[in-house]
Amino acid sequence: MTLKEAAVRVLSEHDGPMRTCDIWAAILKRGLYAGKGKTPYKTLTARLTLDISRNVSKSTFVRRGFGLYGLRDRTHGNKRTRD
């Protein structure tokens, strides 16, 4: 499973957008992906940001605030969350 696939799984089981550090913690807890770097949650943030910038409206993810991401096809993109 890739890091993005793991993020999709975690976000699909959550009611709203999540901070990348919380997404990463859930990925680790479920054993979905084993990160090898010093700051894996920053890698996750970079991957999600890159996916959004490359795919724009076709991206699986939406950015709801600083470090706050959700899934486009769920209500995560419709709710505005304060930072």
- How far apart CA 70 and CA 78 sit, in angstroms, is 10
Domain with 18 in it: 3-77
Please tell me the pTM assigned to this model.
0.82
Total domains in the chain come to: 1
Helix or strand (DSSP H, E) at 18: strand 18-19
Mean pLDDT estimate for the chain: 87
Q: Where residue 12 sits, what CATH number does that domain have?
A: 1.10.10
- Mean pLDDT of the region 16-44: 91
How would DSSP label each residue in 28-82? HHHT-----SS-HHHHHHHHHHHHHHHHGGG-SEEEEETTEEEETTSGGGTS---
- Predicted confidence at residue 6, as pLDDT, reads 95
Q: Is the pLDDT of residue 78 over 60?
A: no
- Predicted confidence at residue 50, as pLDDT, reads 95
Whether 57 is covered by a domain: the verdict is yes
Whether 33 is covered by a domain: the verdict is yes
pLDDT-derived band at 75 (thresholds 50, 70, 90) equals low
Whether 41 is covered by a domain: the verdict is yes
